[in-house]
Structure 1
Amino acid sequence: MKRTRIAALALATASAALAPLLGQAAAAEGAVYLQDPAGGEKTMKSMWTKDEMHKVEGQLRFHPGIQYKTVTRPGPAAAPEFERKSGDPKTLAWLPSYEFAWSVSDSTVVKKAVTVKEGTHPIVVHAVLRNADRAKVGEVRKELTGKPATGREKVVGGKRIACDTGEYTVEWSVTRSGYGTLGGTLRWDSSCEQYRTAFAENHGPQR
């Protein structure tokens, strides 16, 4: 088996092991994420402006973003020259990113009855990652201009989080300037135990 294929299998195994813990899984990419509100791609929180003429909806997908280096290991005893690459559990760490979704609707005639999603809009997305002591350990904020009425934007956090450092809370918001802000929170456990288990199974002796 080719080395690249073995490395891919190691990642797929680890992602599959984590999926039951983190909830929603994007199977096509083997990625794992948490979503608020829970549900499908179009499940969003919503709010109306005071005059009930404009509706803003929002959603967050938190991607923990596991990171690790690979090491080369010998092949089976009968053919040790067939080396393979597998994940090194000593190098595990998290590099979170934040994927925001929004939808903006405008009433045309009757309040809340007939709405359209058109034009471009100024959108501001914001998220803060806090540890168990409520200290801020990560934050992203981005002002988006000329965005369509519905869309998504993924923002890389750029802050590494060590494995097994407890439970974290993500506070997020989506703002349509002039209309209002909505948001929410979700919890994330930074344990890497499932990845270690998956790597250990892949590291086992080859026969």
Structure 2
Amino acid sequence: MVPRYQSKQFDLSTLQSSLLITESKEAFACLERELANEIQPKNIVEKFFLADVAACLWEMMRLRRCRDQVINFAFGPAISEVLDRVLGPPETVAECEARAALEREWFTKPEARREVAKRLAAFQLDEGVIEAAAISSQADQLERLDRMISAQQARLHRALDALADYREAFAVRVRTAVERATDQSALPQLPTRQKAG
């Protein structure tokens, strides 16, 4: 029978948060190294805290990226909505095709962005109105993501507080042990050696 655990050292990689297929193992390893340099875990318990802190930070960064992408993804429909409200819906097939091309090219061609900005400026608006439309259209999702980010921040603070409490309790135990060991009255008295006369 093969022993279940062959290594003499526990592998903390099992505690790492699982990465999405779009995420970089190297970036996560870099985060862990930076945290290890900052926290300097001294034992297995502190390594557990480090793993938890790394997972919390990574999840917070993931949720923030997700939040940004939710807004970015909403820009397409937002451009269409804003132009329809400001200019009115296209009336002919040719106008519809031209508007669709302008909306699509807004993402990639500077001249299309300038054209949209010019049309909005005629109504004393700028591209901020597109951003506002994108954000407001995703308000429910963004609110849910904000709650998830807040929960991760609270978890991170709890993990850091637990590490600080652990270190303080350990320091108190060490201090007590050192004081007990150096207390002269608690030391056993060794017999004095008689000088040979």
Query: TM-score range with shorter-chain normalisation?
Result: under 0.3
TM-score (norm 2): 0.26
Higher helix share: 2
TM-score (norm 1): 0.25
With CA pairs under 8 Å and 6+ residues apart, which has the higher RCO, 1 or 2? 2
Higher strand share: 1
Larger radius of gyration: 2
